[in-house]
């Protein structure tokens, strides 16, 4: 038991900010201490390795806040804990903790808090400000992103390991990384402790060997980290070095040097005050140059958060419910669209009565707020599992497969799980490409979960909250299917970033507001300008007119046409007639078939294979005199030749 330390000078000091810090006069200490019990700090230093208790003087308080200055105290290598009566606890406002245990290891005692006294040299680094319209979000788990043996990094599962993968993300086209919880939390869960739904953690047990060869039960883990914690501290177990603070800042600076922003997910319990949440966010923006936050909480006052001047250019992402109740009118506030996720999954697998939802989501844009779209993310199936499993397979979680989402809107393409059948593999690849195309051609901000770009799988587990192993880790040993999907994803990201009409900051309207002869966006069916929106329709042609894009759009690529066929049969789509001197040309397809388009500006039609999306652009052609038909004297219209190997239904 620690002895009470007799300090020669304990002086008054200001009450705020809360926490412990070195100042010119000495060590300043401030904490919330409710109740009449004795409270204070337990200080550990070179002279008091077992700790010494220093109580707050009774008259050094305002309300429930107590503060004192240990004048003349200079040991910057000290550590500390707080106490109140017999309770010993960590400072909720501490800025660093001891990094003495590896990830998943039981801690023999409560890790001590430490005082950050050194100044980090940021050089010319600044926060990155990327508007929702130009953002490509990439979600990753700091540990799982590089922990697998195939990651090819030296410092696996750490901030430094993530930094080693920045060139890959830069090549992919990412400009905003979203880190799953990377603040300090205890991944080891107490036995027989029930958790709330908001915390999104359950329990499991797994056998691991002891160093001596004996077997012991591994403690239950919260791998995802959606729980309360020390909100001012980067998670120490994610650091390769002993200095998690410095390593995290090195990672952020490396991201910024590559032109990529860094945003973080935070889970806040409903009872946490908005003012306290604001203090946390402002600290990370100022101290760690963080560029955005995904705020997860049952109750948030988004108006109060969005009105903070310091966060005016910081991405503030939350759930749709919280965003609609507050923060409206702020361009940096956005929400995750669950509607997009489920509706597009159903549309891609060919469900009835989804064409109007498809049209709504592909052009949805709120001028006052950002909308973030995803097909797959951390909670649910991976993209590869969406096309490989119709049922969740969470048996490894130890919950009798009752955890996780039951309704996934997935389709296994004819066989549950892995398959070597060439036809099934080809169909799965086609469906994943369809998902990628729709994600990056839609108007909202796209969010890609790490590994989905090369078909990483969780073996059908849609809730790996507790799986710190190959199930949840990203596997980097790509299959041929994964390499092809990766190349296609890079292409689609490049298309979106290169052409302003595909990520315009304003709503694309279906009327010709520029008197150019074309609206910003138009929809087409079997015939041009006549879309089929009946409940049975699964096909749609979409044309974007680049005249409505921001300045700098290339003149030779003013029009883009996407022929979408989610039907299991061949369909023909009408191509709108272009101005003279321009013609439609095939650009890419999610299938293997390549349509052949005649180089003529007249109205055409295109043959679209089953469950396929075809992207067409335009090019310039020589203007030739029109040829008159000998039969009726009318101008002949050029027709598209049918896709190789396919016939019209009436042939």
| Tens digit of each residue's pLDDT (9 = 90 or more) over 573-595 | 999 999 888 889 999 999 998 88
Residues 469, 448: Cα–Cα separation, whole Å: 21
Query: Is 3-114 a domain of CATH 3.40.50.80?
Result: no
Buried b / exposed e along 96-123 (16+ C-beta atoms within 10 A): bbbbeeebeeeeeeebbbbbbeeebeee
Give the mean model confidence (pLDDT) for residues 323-338.
Answer: 79
Q: Which distant-in-sequence residues (6+ apart) come within 8 Å of 373 by Cβ?
A: 337, 340, 341, 344, 361, 439, 442, 444, 445, 446, 447
DSSP character for 528? Answer: T
Tokens in use for 372? 């973030």
- Short-list 374, 404, 375, 384, CA closest to 451: 384
Give the mean model confidence (pLDDT) for residues 234-252.
Answer: 96
pLDDT of res. 603: 64
pLDDT of res. 217: 62
Tens-place pLDDT, residues 500-514 = 888 887 778 888 888
| pTM (predicted TM-score) | 0.90
pLDDT of res. 619: 87
**pLDDT(374) > 70:** yes
**pLDDT(613) > 50:** yes
pLDDT of res. 212: 43
**pLDDT(429) > 50:** yes
**DSSP class per residue in 10-27:** EE-----S-EEEEETTEE
Angle of helix 355-363 versus helix 338-348 axis, rounded to 10: 130
* Percent above pLDDT 90 for the chain: 71
**pLDDT(215) > 60:** no
Domain boundaries, the chain: 3-114, 133-495, 508-620
Lowest-pLDDT choice from 125-139, 580-594, 597-611: 597-611
**pLDDT(367) > 80:** no
Topology adopted by domain 133-495? TIM Barrel (3.20.20)
pLDDT of res. 301: 83
Tens-place pLDDT, residues 550-576 = 655 554 468 999 999 999 999 999 999
Give the mean model confidence (pLDDT) for residues 176-180.
Answer: 98
Residues 332, 334: Cα–Cα separation, whole Å: 7
Confidence of residue 624 (pLDDT cuts 50, 70, 90): low
pLDDT of res. 393: 95
pLDDT of res. 207: 35
Residue with tokens 């497969």: 401
Q: How many CB atoms lie within 10 A of CB 600?
A: 18
**Comparing 133-495 with 508-620, is the CATH topology the same?**
no
Lowest-pLDDT choice from 77-81, 233-237, 484-488, 583-587: 583-587
pLDDT of res. 401: 92
Confidence of residue 639 (pLDDT cuts 50, 70, 90): very low
Mean pLDDT for all residues in the chain: 88
Q: How many CB atoms lie within 10 A of CB 161?
A: 22
CB 187 within 8 A of CB 237: yes
**pLDDT(32) > 80:** yes
Report in angstroms the alpha-carbon separations of 132 from 265, 321, 495: 17, 19, 17
232 class by beta-carbon count within 10 Å (0-12 exposed, 13-18 middle, 19+ buried): buried
What superfamily does domain 508-620 belong to in CATH?
A: Golgi alpha-mannosidase II (2.60.40.1180)
SS3 at position 197: coil
Angle of helix 422-441 versus helix 338-348 axis, rounded to 10: 140
pLDDT of res. 369: 74
**pLDDT(648) > 50:** no
pLDDT of res. 183: 98
SS3 at position 343: helix
Residues 417, 457: Cα–Cα separation, whole Å: 10
Please tell me whether the peptide bond between 17 and the residue prior to it is cis, using omega within 30 degrees of 0.
Answer: yes
What beta strand segments (E) does 52-182 contain?
Answer: 52-55, 61-62, 65-71, 79-84, 87-89, 96-97, 113-114, 137-140, 176-179
Tokens in use for 621? 């052609």
Residue with tokens 């904490």: 31
Largest CA distance in the chain: 111
pLDDT of res. 148: 97
Lowest-pLDDT choice from 185-194, 252-261, 337-346, 490-499: 185-194
Confidence of residue 631 (pLDDT cuts 50, 70, 90): very low
pLDDT of res. 74: 92
For residue 98, report the phi and psi dihedrals to the nearest 5 degrees. Answer: -60, 140
pLDDT of res. 298: 76
Give the mean model confidence (pLDDT) for residues 402-419.
Answer: 94
Tokens in use for 390? 């119709």
Report in angstroms the alpha-carbon separations of 308 from 282, 294, 305, 402, 426: 9, 16, 6, 42, 50
Q: How many CA atoms lie within 13 A of 276 on its CB side?
A: 16
**pLDDT(230) > 50:** yes
Give the mean model confidence (pLDDT) for residues 196-206.
Answer: 36
Lowest-pLDDT choice from 39-48, 288-297, 299-308, 533-542: 299-308
Tens-place pLDDT, residues 258-297 = 999 999 999 999 999 999 999 999 999 999 999 999 999 8
pLDDT of res. 595: 81
**pLDDT(630) > 50:** no
pLDDT of res. 300: 82
Tens-place pLDDT, residues 290-306 = 999 999 987 788 889 99
pLDDT of res. 558: 82
Give the mean model confidence (pLDDT) for residues 619-637.
Answer: 53
Confidence of residue 8 (pLDDT cuts 50, 70, 90): low
SS3 at position 490: helix
Give the mean model confidence (pLDDT) for residues 467-478.
Answer: 96
pLDDT higher at 302 or 322? 302
Confidence of residue 2 (pLDDT cuts 50, 70, 90): low
Lowest-pLDDT choice from 224-238, 328-342, 625-639: 625-639
């Amino acid at each position: 038991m620690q002895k009470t330390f007799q300090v020669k000078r304990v002086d008054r000091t200001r009450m705020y900010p809360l926490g412990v810090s070195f100042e010119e006069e000495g060590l300043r200490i401030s904490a919330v201490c409710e109740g009449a019990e004795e409270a204070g700090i337990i200080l550990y230093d070179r002279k008091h390795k077992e700790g010494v208790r220093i109580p707050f003087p009774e008259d050094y308080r305002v309300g429930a806040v107590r503060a004192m200055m240990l004048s003349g105290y200079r040991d910057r290598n000290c550590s500390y804990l707080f106490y109140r009566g017999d309770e010993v606890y960590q400072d909720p406002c501490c800025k660093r903790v001891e990094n003495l245990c590896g990830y998943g290891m039981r801690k023999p005692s409560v890790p001590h808090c430490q005082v950050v006294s050194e100044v980090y040299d940021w050089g010319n680094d600044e926060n990155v400000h990327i508007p929702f319209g130009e953002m490509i979000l990439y979600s990753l788990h700091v540990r799982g992103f590089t922990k697998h043996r195939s990651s090819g990094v030296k410092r696996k599962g750490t901030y430094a390991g993530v930094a080693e993968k920045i060139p890959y993300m830069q090549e992919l086209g990412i400009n905003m990384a979203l880190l799953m919880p990377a603040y300090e939390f205890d991944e080891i869960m107490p036995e027989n402790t029930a958790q709330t739904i908001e915390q999104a953690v359950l329990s499991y047990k797994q056998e691991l060997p002891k160093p001596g060869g004996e077997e012991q039960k591994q403690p239950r883990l919260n791998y995802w980290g959606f729980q309360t914690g020390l909100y001012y501290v980067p998670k120490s177990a994610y650091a390769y070095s002993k200095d998690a603070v410095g390593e995290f800042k090195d990672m952020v600076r490396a991201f910024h040097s590559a032109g990529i922003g860094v945003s973080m997910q935070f889970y806040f319990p409903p009872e946490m005050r908005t003012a306290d949440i604001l203090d946390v966010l402002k600290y990370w923006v100022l101290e760690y140059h963080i560029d955005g936050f995904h705020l997860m909480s049952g109750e948030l006052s988004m108006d109060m958060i969005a009105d903070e001047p310091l966060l005016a250019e910081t991405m503030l992402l939350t759930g749709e419910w919280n965003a609609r109740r507050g923060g409206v009118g702020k361009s940096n506030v956005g929400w995750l669209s669950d509607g997009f996720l489920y509706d597009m999954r159903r549309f891609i697998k060919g469900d009835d009565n989804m064409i109007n939802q498809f049209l709504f989501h592909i052009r949805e844009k709120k001028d006052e707020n950002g909308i973030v779209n995803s097909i797959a993310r951390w909670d649910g199936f991976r993209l590869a599992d969406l096309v490989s499993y119709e049922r969740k397979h969470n048996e490894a979680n130890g919950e009798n497969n009752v955890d996780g989402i039951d309704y996934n809107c997935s389709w296994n393409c004819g066989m549950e799980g892995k398959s070597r059948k060439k036809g099934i593999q080809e169909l799965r690849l086609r469906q994943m490409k369809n998902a990628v195309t729709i994600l990056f051609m839609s108007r909202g901000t796209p969010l890609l979960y790490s590994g989905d770009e090369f078909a990483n799988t969780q073996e059908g587990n849609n809730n790996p909250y507790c799986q710190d192993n190959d199930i949840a880790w990203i596997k980097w040993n790509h299959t041929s299917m994964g390499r092809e999907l990766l190349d296609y994803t890079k292409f689609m990201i490049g298309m979106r970033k290169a052409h302003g009409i595909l990520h315009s900051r304003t709503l694309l309207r279906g009327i010709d507001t520029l008197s150019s002869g074309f609206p910003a966006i138009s929809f087409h069916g079997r015939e041009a300008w006549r879309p089929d929106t009946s409940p049975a329709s699964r096909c749609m042609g979409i044309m974007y007119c680049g005249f409505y894009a921001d300045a700098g759009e290339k003149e030779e690529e003013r029009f883009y046409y996407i022929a979408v066929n989610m039907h299991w049969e061949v369909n023909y789509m009408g191509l709108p007639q272009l101005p003279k001197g321009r013609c439609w040309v095939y650009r890419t397809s999610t299938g293997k078939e390549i349509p052949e388009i005649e180089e003529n500006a007249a109205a055409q039609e295109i043959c679209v294979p089953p469950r396929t999306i075809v992207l067409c652009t335009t090019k310039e052609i020589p203007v030739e005199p029109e040829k008159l038909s000998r039969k009726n004297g009318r101008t002949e219209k050029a027709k598209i030749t049918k896709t190789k190997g396919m016939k019209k239904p009436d042939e």
